[in-house]
Amino acid sequence: MAAEEWQLDDFEIGKFIGEGKFGKVYLAREKQSGYVIALKVIFKKKKLEKYQFFGHLKREIEIQHSLDHPNVLRLFAWFHDETRVFLVLEYAAQVELYKLLNNLLRFSEKRAATYVASLAKALAYCHKKHVIHRDIKPENLLLDYEGRLKIADFGWAAQLQAHGKRQTMCGTIDYLAPEMVQNKAHDQTVDNWTLGILCYEFLYGVPPFEAEDKYDTFRRILKVDVVFPSSPLVSPEAKDLISKLLVKDSSKRLSLQKILEHPWIVQNADPSGCGF
């Protein structure tokens, strides 16, 4: 779907779903097919000019539009008028993952392993296309009507040349890999580190390097100061997987394929990605 092919009139606009930093999101239906989508509306003047965000948004759109995987939120199309940019997105009907985690406090091993496996599959697909996400965190993960995890936000994603490295410091502090904290060149293995952080957070309810201020968090990340508290009870296999992902030397982190073959994932993850 190219940008010119669509206009607002092609959609029936439904209820307001939510608001982010750069736009409002509405439930909508494509009039001809009846297909239900989420329509994100971004005001050019208010948001984009203020943040000099045109280039950034264009890159985000290009990257997300090029991806087609069951665990990556589809960006079907986009179009714009004088004042607004519209993104036609797959609708994720269930609660956002961070709200679910807040409500449940922590996930069961089955649910955690299922989400980690879904993420590993989605990231393996992205990495194969030379896209590194760099900002995987619960706020960027949505759940579809069946509860299947969808990576939703590619605002910090980067396209690497094959075997290339990037150097922009980005992402959210708790989820940053040591090489990013140190502002060193980094590659797709930053996403593998983040999977270790998320796996810990899914099981314990908090990310592993949380601290009073961000400098303490930085210090703990650089020391890889992982503590596994005795409560809640977490299986040794889950801790083993986390320990093999939170490795300072990025070349020694478990690969995404090895994550999927890890005994904890094999024993716990639901193959459908949503059966619990």
Among 7, 20, 128, 129, binds ligand AMP (CB under 6 A): 20
Of 131 and 143, the one with the shorter C-beta distance to ligand AMP is 143
46 binds ligand AMP per the rule CB under 6 A: no
CB of 61 to ligand AMP, least distance (A): 13
| Six token digits for residue 10 | 């092609």
Cβ proximity to ligand AMP: between 87 and 246 the closer is 87
When asked if residue 36 is in the footprint of ligand AMP (CB under 6 A), the reply is no
Segment 156 to 185, residues that bind ligand AMP, using CB under 6 A: none
Piece of 20-28, 49-57, 206-214, 258-266 that binds ligand AMP (CB under 6 A): 20-28
Annotated binding site: 21, 40, 44, 90-92, 139-140, 153
Contact set with ligand AMP (CB under 6 A): 17-20, 22-23, 25, 38, 73, 89-92, 96, 142, 152-153
Annotated binding site for ATP: 21, 40, 44, 90-92, 139-140, 153
